[in-house]
């Protein structure tokens, strides 16, 4: 037997392999294979195994993953999906993506680079407010009321703070403590520069050294001990990183000082003061460590801003909704909404889930998802999305997608995944970082040797201080953060403007695109029939009279072309006349009786059927539209043709402007369509497109992409249908219209929520500003290290007498990472 199930909780390929291994171990399972992209497990078994056995196996394995029957996963009420807003998902990742898209299930630091792991924002987008008793905290309810134990009113529970906020508060507490103990150490040392040091009048220098030693212990062994733990781990695993250099530099300075106090006689006289005490470097060690801690603190705060786009999207999801039950309005939690529930949305309320309007008309602000500021009119049968804001009219809707299946949830999921992905340009930084730390350690040793041989007196003091400065100033983190920070902010910026990026590679490739292939139907055009013209052949009847007859007859038909005329009639406020004896004639049209007159509507065959003659003038007028690939239907009353309606696939208002902007950017735009040549030529002429191809099958589109790539072109393909999926997958960058099929969206690297070509212009602009920002970051990081390390080594000393204190080096190193993040944050204010 073979069964397929949905797997919930996987975040990377490591999770996929783990789930696959766990399920394979279940007794009587022949083979288990897990598809990460689809979140599905296919299990072959000798005989039927109850799903509960698989659920138990995953639960015993730690409970991070769960298994469900297909179609049931959004009903699973798992603890992980119940977290209050502001908490995250419990999934952590390295901001430098050292191990690709690998994630962790608890906070800590990256085993490769040592940086604090960042928590992914909550994908559930639901937030159940809970209530508790002040006297009996064990009482937790989903709604307000009285405590069942003591009768007191329940009070709202405060949502737990997120992991990143906890990290920030922990670092802030440690920084304050480090500062309290470091400042006295710094002042004691600085007083030695005074001619008449007042501290020497209180006690000798060697005793002040002991005080410095005592004050440094809380800084080294509590506030910044994590840096030494990371340094030790990095050396043990040979994943050398920034903390390796800090650990060695600050550790050597502190240990040197300790040995100098306990065994002063083993050191050369150069290190000793007039009183015989060894000159200690407790202030260098503590100031370096405190400044690095400050850098980590600022970094933690900046990190929280880089994913602010996701946080803003999360805020869109309301906590409550009004459910209509037996004609009554009942306020329920978002978690309680199920498929096909009827919900009432009041003026100004946020729409709780994705669905369809079943009663009422309104306008909806969709700017937070599409980036378009103008509210959209919605009426019966129109789709609405969760998180968008209702205008000034109430309406009823039917829930069609709930929980993790809503558009808002999918956008957040896509943004989170894209934020964790790696751009190819990051490979350069990774290669440099791989050799960076060993080279810096070698330079530090060489610095000591050179100063010890050729430096001025006291040579060993100069050699020691400059070697430490080299270790401290080097910052591999600035290199490592250069790409991921820009990608994270850029992906969030795109999501706020209706451009969903699948991964970081898409941004890099989009910036290099030279040729754009666009499908016609649904991409350039609306992709659905719409009335373009209504005409009259009878001087006694206006176009409105003709429309009244057409709408009155067609409202009984279910044909797509008939629906298009009825929709147009509503827009034009057409009068509905009473029609009887309606019948549809297959392949020809429809007929009925209106005002006791025989009315027929359809193609020339329908007119023959109704014994209504089409004159040559009428046929000639219709031919003009038919050459453009449009459908012309004739209207006859009592065997006389009196009018016509032209139905076509309307070109989207934004298509012409968008294509012009893309051409101005030097992108060659090519239209490929499955439609006939006349229709394609008419659309191409309207858009000033020089290049188009008609009657293209999916394999023809695929071959065209291949052919262009063979000429060295970087090809982007924009489409919305299943027939576009092969070409989307083959192109360098596939762009799907969010209004299209899920197959097309799955095959694409970029999805446009609104589904028009203006989104491609935004995607192109976004990719350009993000890649420019990444290059700025890489340039800054490389230049900083290229200049900083030689200056710390003392190359300016022979010419200008300039040396860099290890404390200044620590300050520069801390702010180099923060400045890279700060530059990435500038993307939030860019207009695309």
- Rounded Cα gap, residues 662 and 429, in angstroms: 31
Residue 519 catalytic? yes
Single out the catalytic residue among 81, 341, 519, 649.
519
State CA 571 to chain mean position distance: 38
CA distance 552 to 569: 9
CA dist 335 and 583 (Å) reads 47
Q: By the 8 A CB rule, do 492 and 780 touch? A: no
What CA–CA distance (Å, rounded) separates 212 from 254?
A: 11
In what helix (H) or strand (E) does residue 568 lie, and over which residues does it extend?
helix 560-571
For residue 721, what are the CA distances in angstroms to 499, 684, 736? 18, 20, 9
Q: How far apart are CA 776 and CA 20, in angstroms?
A: 42
The secondary structure of residue 153, as a DSSP letter, is: B
| Pairing of β 40-45 and β 29-35 | antiparallel
Q: What are φ and ψ of residue 462, in 5° steps? A: -60, -45
What are the backbone dihedrals phi and psi of residue 101, each rounded to the nearest 5 degrees, phi first?
-95, 20
334 phi-psi bin (left φ>0, alpha ψ -120 to 50, beta other): alpha
Reading the block at residue 264, the tokens are 């002063």
Task: Identify whether the C-beta of residue 537 lies closer than 8 Å to the C-beta of residue 643.
Answer: yes
**Contact of 728 with 748, CB cutoff 8 Å:** yes
Question: What is residue 735's DSSP assignment?
Answer: E
Strand 515-519 with 715-719, pairing: parallel
790-797 long-range contacts (CB < 8 A, ≥24 apart) are 791/473, 792/447, 792/466, 792/469, 792/470, 792/472, 792/473, 793/443, 793/446, 793/447, 793/450, 793/466, 793/469, 793/470, 794/447, 794/451, 794/455, 794/462, 794/466
**Alpha helices per DSSP H over 241-394:** 242-262, 282-306, 308-315, 367-370
Task: Give, for 462, the enclosing helix (H) or strand (E).
Answer: helix 459-473
Of 519, 554, 310, nearest in space to 417 by CA: 310
* DSSP structural state of residue 520: I
Q: How far apart (Å, rounded) are the C-alpha atoms in residues 43 and 67?
A: 12
What would the DSSP string read from start to end of 83-97? PPTTS--S-EE-TT-
Alpha-carbon distance of 535 to 553, in angstroms, equals: 17
Three-state SS sequence of 639-705: CEEEEEEEEEEEECCCHHHHHHHHHHCCCEEEEECCCCHHHHHHHHHHCCCCCEECCCCHHHHHHHH
Tokens of 142: 């989903």
DSSP codes joined into one string, 114-146: -PBPEEPPPSS------EE-SS-TT-EESS--B
3-state class (DSSP) for residue 342: strand
- How many CA atoms within 13 Å lie on the side-chain side of 161? 9
Q: In 3D, which of 309, 313, 304 has the Cα closest to residue 409? A: 313
Contact 655, 757 (CB under 8 A): yes
Taking alpha carbons only, the member of 489, 366, 508, 532 closest to residue 827 is 489
Of the candidates 733, 768, 767, 765, the residue with the CA atom closest to the CA atom of residue 751: 733
- Beta strand 354-359 with 515-519: parallel, antiparallel or unpaired? unpaired
| Residues designated as active site | 519
């Amino acid at each position: 037997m073979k069964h397929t199930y949905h797997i919930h909780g996987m975040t990377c390929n490591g999770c996929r392999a783990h789930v696959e291994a766990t399920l394979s171990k279940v007794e009587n399972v022949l083979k288990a294979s897990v598809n990460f992209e689809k979140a599905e497990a296919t299990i072959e078994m000798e005989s039927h195994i109850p799903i509960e056995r698989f659920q138990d196996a995953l639960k015993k394995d730690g409970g991070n993953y769960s298994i469900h029957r297909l179609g049931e996963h959004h009903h699973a009420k798992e603890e992980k999906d119940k977290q209050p807003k502001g908490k995250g998902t419990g999934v952590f990742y390295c901001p430098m993506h050292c191990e690709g898209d690998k994630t962790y299930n608890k906070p800590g630091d990256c085993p490769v680079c040592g940086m604090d792991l960042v928590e992914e924002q909550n994908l559930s987008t639901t937030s159940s407010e809970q209530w508790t008793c002040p006297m009996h905290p064990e009482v937790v309810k989903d709604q307000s009321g009285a405590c069942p134990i003591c009768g007191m009113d329940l009070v709202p529970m405060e949502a737990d703070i997120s992991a990143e906020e906890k990290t920030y508060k922990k670092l802030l507490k440690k920084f304050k403590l480090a500062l309290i103990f470091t400042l006295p150490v710094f002042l004691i040392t600085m007083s030695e520069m005074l001619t008449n040091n007042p501290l020497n009048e209180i006690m000798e220098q060697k005793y002040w050294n002991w005080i410095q030693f005592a004050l440094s212990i809380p800084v080294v062994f509590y506030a910044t001990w994590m840096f030494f733990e990371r340094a030790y781990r990095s050396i043990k695993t040979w994943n050398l990183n920034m903390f390796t250099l800090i650990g060695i530099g600050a550790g050597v300075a502190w240990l040197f000082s300790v040995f100098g106090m306990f065994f002063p006689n083993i050191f050369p006289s150069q290190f000793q003061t007039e009183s015989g005490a060894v000159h200690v470097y407790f202030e260098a060690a503590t100031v370096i460590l405190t400044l690095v801690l400050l850098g980590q603190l600022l970094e933690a705060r900046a990190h929280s801003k880089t994913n602010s786009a996701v946080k803003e999207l999360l805020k869109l999801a309301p906590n409550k909704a009004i459910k209509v039950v037996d004609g009554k309005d009942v306020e329920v939690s978002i978690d309680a909404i199920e498929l096909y529930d009827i919900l009432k949305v009041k003026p100004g309320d946020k729409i709780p889930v994705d669905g369809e309007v079943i009663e009422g008309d309104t306008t909806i602000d969709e700017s937070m998802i599409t980036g378009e500021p103008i509210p959209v009119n919605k009426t019966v049968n129109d789709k609405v999305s969760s998180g968008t804001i209702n205008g000034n009219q109430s309406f009823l809707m039917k829930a069609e997608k709930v929980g993790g299946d809503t558009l808002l949830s999918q956008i957040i999921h896509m943004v989170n995944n894209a934020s964790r992905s790696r751009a190819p340009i990051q490979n350069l930084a990774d290669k440099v970082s791989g050799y960076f730390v060993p080279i810096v350690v070698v330079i530090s040793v060489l610095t000591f040797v050179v100063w010890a041989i050729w430096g001025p007196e006291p040579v060993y003091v100069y050699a020691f201080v400059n070697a430490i400065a080299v270790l401290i100033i080097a910052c591999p983190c600035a290199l490592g953060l250069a790409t991921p920070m820009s990608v994270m902010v850029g992906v969030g910026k795109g999501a706020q403007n209706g451009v969903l990026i699948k991964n970081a590679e898409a941004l890099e490739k989009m910036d290099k695109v030279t040729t754009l292939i666009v499908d016609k139907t649904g991409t350039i055009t609306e992709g659905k029939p719409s009335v373009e013209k209504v005409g009259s052949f009878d001087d006694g009847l206006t176009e409105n009279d003709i429309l009244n007859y057409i709408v009155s007859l067609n409202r009984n038909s279910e044909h797509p072309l008939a629906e298009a005329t009825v929709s147009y009639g509503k827009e034009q406020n057409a009068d509905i006349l009473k029609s009887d004896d309606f019948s549809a004639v297959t392949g020809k049209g429809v007929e009925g009786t209106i005002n006791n007159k025989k009315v027929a509507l359809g193609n020339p065959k329908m007119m023959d059927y109704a014994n209504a003659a089409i004159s040559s003038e009428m046929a000639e007028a219709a031919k003009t539209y038919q050459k453009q690939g449009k459908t012309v239907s004739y209207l006859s009353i009592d065997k006389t043709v009196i009018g016509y309606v032209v139905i076509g696939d309307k070109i989207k208002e934004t298509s012409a402007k968008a294509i012009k902007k893309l051409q101005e950017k030097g992108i060659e735009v090519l239209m490929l369509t499955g439609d006939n040549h006349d229709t394609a030529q008419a659309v191409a002429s309207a858009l000033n497109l020089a290049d188009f191809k008609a009657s293209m099958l999916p394999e023809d589109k695929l071959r065209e992409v291949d052919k262009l790539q063979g000429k060295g072109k970087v090809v982007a393909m924009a489409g919305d249908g299943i027939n576009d999926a092969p070409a989307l997958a083959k192109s360098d960058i596939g762009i799907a219209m969010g209004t299209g099929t899920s197959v097309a969206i799955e095959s694409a690297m970029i999805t446009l929520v609104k589904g028009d070509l203006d989104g491609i212009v935004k995607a192109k602009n976004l990719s350009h500003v993000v890649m420019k920002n990444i290059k700025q970051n890489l340039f800054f990081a490389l230049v900083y290290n290229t200049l900083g390390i030689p200056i710390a080594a003392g190359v300016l000393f022979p010419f200008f007498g300039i040396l860099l204190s290890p404390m200044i080096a620590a300050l520069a190193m801390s702010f180099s990472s923060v400045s890279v993040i700060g530059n990435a944050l500038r993307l939030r204010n860019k207009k695309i």
